[in-house]
Every structure is written in structure tokens, then in C-alpha cells.
Amino acid sequence: MTRFLLQRLAETAAVLLLMSFLIYGLIGLMPGDPIDIMISANPDLTPADAERLRKLHGLDQPIVARYWAWLTAALSGDLGYSRLFARPVLEVIWPRLGNTVLLMGISFALALALAFPLGLLAAVRPRSGLDHAINLGAFAGISIPPFWLAILLIILFAVILGWLPAGGMGEEADGLWSRMSYLVLPVATLTLATVGGLIRFLRAAVMEALRQDYVRTARAKGVSRARVVLGHALRNAMIPVVTILALNFGTLFSGALITETMFGWLGMGKTIYDAILGNDFNLALVGLLFATLTTLLANLLADLCYAWLDPRVSYK
Amino acid sequence: MSSEPDLQLAAEAAYAQGPPQSVRLLLWRRFLRHRLALASLLVLVLMAAITLAAPLIEAALGLDANRVDLFALLAPPSAAHPLGTDELGRDLLLRLLYGGRISLAVGLAAALGAAVIGTALGLLAGYYGGTLDALLMRLADSVIALPLLPLLIVLVAVDLTKLGLPEGLATSENVSLYRIVILIALVGWTTVARLVRGATLSMRTREFVRAAEALGAGAPRVMLVHILPNVVSPIIVATTLSVGNVILLESVLSFLGLGIQPPIPSWGNMLTGAQELIWTAPALAVWPGALIFVTVIAFNFLGDGLQDALDPRAVT
């Protein structure tokens, strides 16, 4: 087990390193470079100055040399300054990471709390009216563009009814309740955008488990239907479900990016989007790497859960 | 005296009474599901026909889809403008139709591209196995696990002239169209690749494949002539489902200002401006999103129905 864990951690680190090089290269391919931005901000700079500045900051070096310089600095804890915020990148990212965890955590928990009962209900009564209704709802959730859902929610709850703020995060001085009200619409958007896929997957996994021989055996031995569904089918269905939950982490993050951008919620997704559009190279790079790292760790967690849930799997 | 005629009579009598109620009910329910897929197909054909007929409708209305009319900004629906006008006084109906052309074309083209890549890689991985298989599937795993949207945003932002593309091509009006199709195809192949690989693995040792090999068929012939026709149904199902996903992804990117660039209309980029106009002209925000929603859900229903029809073993 320890060996497996170490091996997977090493793999994760290798993938992260590879991704850091790829993302570094991609960001280098974005329009303009830091010196272009300096020139546009200061018309007194001559082309000769620009050339000197490029040399000073090492921008005339080949990409591998520049990446190596960045990597050694990054590993010693220096991730550079954010251009948009004029502060060290990590100082910008920490509070935003917290905001994203809050948004994603609540939405994911809500989506799970909705998906489990609905998926189970649909699976135990396949092709009933209830199943069709749940299935339709799930398909609607999968198919609705999340940014449009956000617009609709804003139109309904902020414009027409005026119950909730259309965006932002509230002031420190506001009470807890009024600050919570800023979370309602983003959480609703992200939950609805996530729950459809979860329901479809849970339903399929439980239906598959219910068709297995051990379910028939258990029923034949006189175990109650509820116990068979919850104790036998659901437990076995959890194995594929957990894998999908972890793999969905990347999707959840993408959803969070859209939601945060729509509602002005200052999280990682919005930070990455703003950084890329605002030519904030350092911030974009670190933000993307954080997003990749968390996704990779979620996958690792899924592998561990997999072994824990399924005694047949062993990582010796 | 043989009892055969009696048996036959009994079977005929049973048949004359019709199948048992539960089977009839089952067939009816199945039919109901397929009717949904059928209706979706109808909707999609209709949608394609109307968007293809956009120039005719343009001529019939006597309007120009790109004409800016500053005296009729945000006009309400009227005889001249059946759905009113947008924030630049352009006819909303015509913009929706031309946007639909783009969204549908991008969805189909990118999904087909992804299917071709996925099929090729899946066949190779499944047929040759070994290191190639391990490498390709590891690659697929990584692509699935990554936070797709943030990375796509960087990829879309890449300055094509830095990649060595000629200036004229890199700044031409249609480049955003080609770029989005290619990028989505390059990240969207994983599902098809996994399905095809799995199916190829099980085909590789079948008698007819061994027979073809024994008769001297080369690897390309075995893969394309003997294996491919047998793995076509999962490809069709996955591709149908992915058209919907691609349309969603394109709309998100275009909405964020990174996909299809104005003046080319797409349902996604028509919503970009609509967010600021929520308070004054909510209708502008409703129409394009509703069309995306209807199209995507129709593709999903169609894919689901096809799966039922083509792969009866799968739990749906």
C-alpha cells in the first residue's frame, strides 16, 4: 500500500512537472510579452530600451532556459508577482482558493445530497413515471448551458423578484446572513449544472448492481427490498460512482470557472480567466498549476477509495 | 401420434392472445423513449433546415442580417423584425439563424474530428496492445482528468503568429472558427478512443479476425475491414452525444469572448453582450440560450435513444 501510494505520488509529481512545462510554453505563446506591456504603459521607452529590458529579464533566452529559471525560482518559493494585483502571486491566490473551496464544496455536497435519493429512486423503479421525470430533469441539467442558467437565475431572482444580489461577494461589514445571500445563486447554478450527470451515473450504476446474482440470492434468502437496495446494490454501485466523482473534479472546476465569472465570485476560476485575459502571466501559470494539482490529487484519492471500497482490488 | 401439432396449436393460441401485459407495457415504454429520440431527430432536422434556409428568410424579410440600424436599437418584435432587434439594431431572428449555422457546423465538425482521432487511436491501442496501448490510454486518462476549460482558455488565447502561421491566415476572419473546431477535436477524442479500444480488444481474438490474419490480411486491413465495422455502434452513440457537448463547450468559450469572434454570430457570443442588457432587454438573453438548450438536449435524447436501439445490453 505504501509503495503504491509513493508510486502514485511520484507519478502525480511527474505529470505536474510536465504540465508546468506545457503551460509555461503555452503562456509564452500568448499575444505580447511583459516588455510589450511595459512599452504600451510607457511611451517613452525606445526599441533599444525594450531590447535591453528583454535581455535584463532573460526574455531573449530560449524557452527551456527560461522555464528552468522559472522552475528553480518556483521550487525555492518564489512564484513571482501578479501584474494585475501588484502583489506576490501566492498572496493573491490563497484567499481566492478559499472562496473556490467554499463554492465548490457546498455545491458538490448539495449535488450529492440531491443525486443519491433521486438516482436511487429512478433505479429501483426503472421506466416508471418517476424514473422518466427524474431522467428528463437529469438530461435538462446536463444540457443547459451553465452561463445561461446563471443569466436566467439572475433575471428571475435579482431583476424580477429582487430577492437576491445579482453578483459580487458582499462587504466585510455586512452580517453573515447578508453575505450568505451572495452565495445562493452561484451555488444554485453550480449545483444544477453538476447534479444531472451525477443522477444519470448513479442510476446506471445502481441498476447494473441490481441485476447481479448476489442481489437475487439476497432477495431469495428473504432479505428485505430496502436492505438489498441500500446494503447490497448501493454499496457495490459506489465503486464506479466514486471513480466518476473524482474524475468529475475537473468538470466541477470548469463549472466553477463559469459560475465565478458570471457572478463576480472571486475564486480560482475567475482569477485564472482574468489573469489570462489580462496578460498576467505569473498568476495565470500558478493558477492553472493549482487547478491541475487539485485535479490530480482528486484522482489519487479516487484510486485509494477504490481499494478501500472494493476488497478485490489490492495495490500490493 | 406425435404431440407436435398440439404444441404448435398451443403456441398459436398463446400468440393470438397477444404477448403478456407486462411485455406490452415494456414495449410501450421503450417506444415512448424512442419517440423522444424520434422527436429530437425531427427537431434537429428542422433546426438544420431552417438555419440552412437563413439566406432565403433574409431575402423574404427584405433585411440584411449584418445591417446595423441605430434608429431601431433593442426594438420590440414587429412585422419587420419578428423577434425584434439587438443592441446594434440588427434583426434578432436572422442573427439567431446565422448563429445556429455556426454552432451546428462547429458541433458536427468537431465531434466528427474527435470521432476520427478517437477511432484511429482506439483501434491502434486495442489491436497492438502493449506499450502503445499503455501510453495511449495513459494519455487519454490525463486528458480526461485535466481541468479542461481553463486549459482551453489558454489554448484559445495562443497567438498563432508565434506558432509560425502566416500573418494573413492568423488574422483572417474565419480563423476563430477553425481554431475552435481543431482544439475541441484534439481534446474530445478520449471517450471514443476508450470505447473503440475496449471493443477492439474483444474482437482481436475472435475467429473471423484470426481467420483473416491466417489468410494473410495485413494489420491495416484487419483493423479497417474486419474490426471497424463491428465497433461502429458505440462510435455512433458516443459521437451523437458528443455533438451536444461540443455545442455546449463552444457556446461557453464564445460567451467568454474566446471562441467564435464577432462579427461572426454564434449562439454563445450572442449572449456575451446580453448579460449587460439583462435589465433592459431580457429577451436578448433568453433566445440564444434557449436554442442552445433545445439543440443540446435533442442531441442527448437522440444519443440515448440510439444507445437503446443499438446496444440493448447497456443500462440506460
Summarised one tens digit per residue, pLDDT across range B36-76 is 888 898 999 999 999 898 788 777 777 776 777 666 666 67
Nearest to B285 among A132, A155, A207 (CB): A155
Q: B296 lies in a domain? A: yes
**Closest Cα in chain B, distance from residue A12 (Å):** 10
Q: Kindly list the residues from chain A whose CB atom is less than 8 angstroms away from the CB atom of residue B316.
A: 204
Burial pattern B60-73, b for ≥16 Cβ within 10 A else e, equals ebebebeeebeebe
ipTM of the complex: 0.84
Q: Is A313 left (phi over 0), alpha (psi -120 to 50) or beta?
A: beta
Specify the range with the lowest mean pLDDT, choosing from A179-193, B82-96, B106-120. Answer: B82-96
Number of Cβ within a 10 Å radius of residue B254:
30
Q: B122 lies in a domain? A: yes
Q: Kindly list the residues from chain A whose CB atom is less than 8 angstroms away from the CB atom of residue B145.
A: 247, 250, 295-296, 299
Interface touch B289/A152, C-beta < 8 Å: yes
Torsion of CA B300, B305, B311, B315, to 10 degrees: 70
Q: Kindly list the residues from chain A whose CB atom is less than 8 angstroms away from the CB atom of residue B271.
A: 147-148, 151
Res A67: pLDDT: 86
Segments forming the whole domain that contains residue B255: 7-310
* Number of domains, chain B: 1
Burial pattern A153-190, b for ≥16 Cβ within 10 A else e, equals bbbebbeeeeebbbbebeeeeeeeeeeeebbebbbbbb
Torsion of CA B29, B31, B32, B33, to 10 degrees: 90
**Per-residue pLDDT at B315 exceeds 50:** no
CA–CA distance, A142 with A103 (Å, rounded to integer): 19
Res B316: pLDDT: 43
Q: B131 lies in a domain? A: yes
- Judged on CB neighbours under 10 Å (0-12, 13-18, 19+), A148 is buried
Res B300: pLDDT: 92
Amino acid at site B227: I
Burial pattern B180-196, b for ≥16 Cβ within 10 A else e, equals bbebbbebbbbbbbbbb
- Angle at CA A241, nearest 5°, toward A239 and A245? 125
Res A89: pLDDT: 83
Question: With bands split at pLDDT 50, 70 and 90, how would you rate the model's confidence at B119?
Answer: very high
Res A242: pLDDT: 83
Closest chain A residue by Cα to residue B26: A127
In the three-class reduction of DSSP (H, G, I as helix; E, B as strand; rest coil), residue B91 is classed as strand
B263: preceding bond cis by omega (within 30 degrees): yes
- Judged on CB neighbours under 10 Å (0-12, 13-18, 19+), A224 is exposed
- Judged on CB neighbours under 10 Å (0-12, 13-18, 19+), A61 is middle
Cut 0.95: pTM above it: no
**Per-residue pLDDT at B31 exceeds 60:** no
Number of Cβ within a 10 Å radius of residue A71:
14
Report which of B161, B183, B186, B157 is spatially closest to residue B172, judged by C-alpha positions: B161
Q: B72 lies in a domain? A: yes
Res B18: pLDDT: 54
Q: Kindly list the residues from chain B whose CB atom is less than 8 angstroms away from the CB atom of residue A142.
A: 297, 300
Q: B194 lies in a domain? A: yes
- Torsions phi, psi for B216 (to 5 deg): 100, 15
CA–CA distance, B253 with B269 (Å, rounded to integer): 8
Res B5: pLDDT: 56
Higher pLDDT, residue B170 or A267? A267
Q: B180 lies in a domain? A: yes
Question: With bands split at pLDDT 50, 70 and 90, how would you rate the model's confidence at B1?
Answer: very low
Interface touch B154/A23, C-beta < 8 Å: yes
Q: Is A267 left (phi over 0), alpha (psi -120 to 50) or beta?
A: beta
Per the CB < 8 A criterion, the answer to whether B234 and B162 are in contact is: no
Res A250: pLDDT: 76
The grid coordinates of residue A159 equal 431583476
Average confidence score pLDDT of chain B: 81
Counting as low any pLDDT under 70, the low residues of chain A are 172-173, 313-316
Model pLDDT for residues B182-234, shown as the tens digit of each residue = 999 998 899 899 889 988 988 888 889 889 989 988 888 888 888 888 888 88
**Closest Cα in chain A, distance from residue B257 (Å):** 10
Higher pLDDT, residue B11 or A304? A304
Question: With bands split at pLDDT 50, 70 and 90, how would you rate the model's confidence at B2?
Answer: very low
Q: B315 lies in a domain? A: no
Report which of B138, B127, B140, B115 is spatially closest to residue B236, judged by C-alpha positions: B115
Any bridge partners for residue A87, and if so which?
A82
**Closest Cα in chain A, distance from residue B8 (Å):** 33
Res B141: pLDDT: 80
**Closest Cα in chain B, distance from residue A275 (Å):** 10
**Closest Cα in chain B, distance from residue A37 (Å):** 15
Residues contacting residue A185 through CB under 8 Å, at least 6 positions apart: A150, A153, A154, A157, A158, A164, A165, A166, A167, A263
- Please report, for the domain that includes residue B282, its CATH number: 1.10.3720.10
Model pLDDT for residues A126-152, shown as the tens digit of each residue = 878 888 899 899 999 999 999 999 988
Res B14: pLDDT: 55
Q: Kindly list the residues from chain B whose CB atom is less than 8 angstroms away from the CB atom of residue A261.
A: 256
Res A118: pLDDT: 94
CA–CA distance, A60 with B241 (Å, rounded to integer): 47
Nearest to A151 among B289, B296, B315 (CB): B289
CA–CA distance, A55 with A49 (Å, rounded to integer): 10
Q: B25 lies in a domain? A: yes
Res B29: pLDDT: 61
Per the CB < 8 A criterion, the answer to whether A103 and A265 are in contact is: yes
CA–CA distance, A236 with B166 (Å, rounded to integer): 56
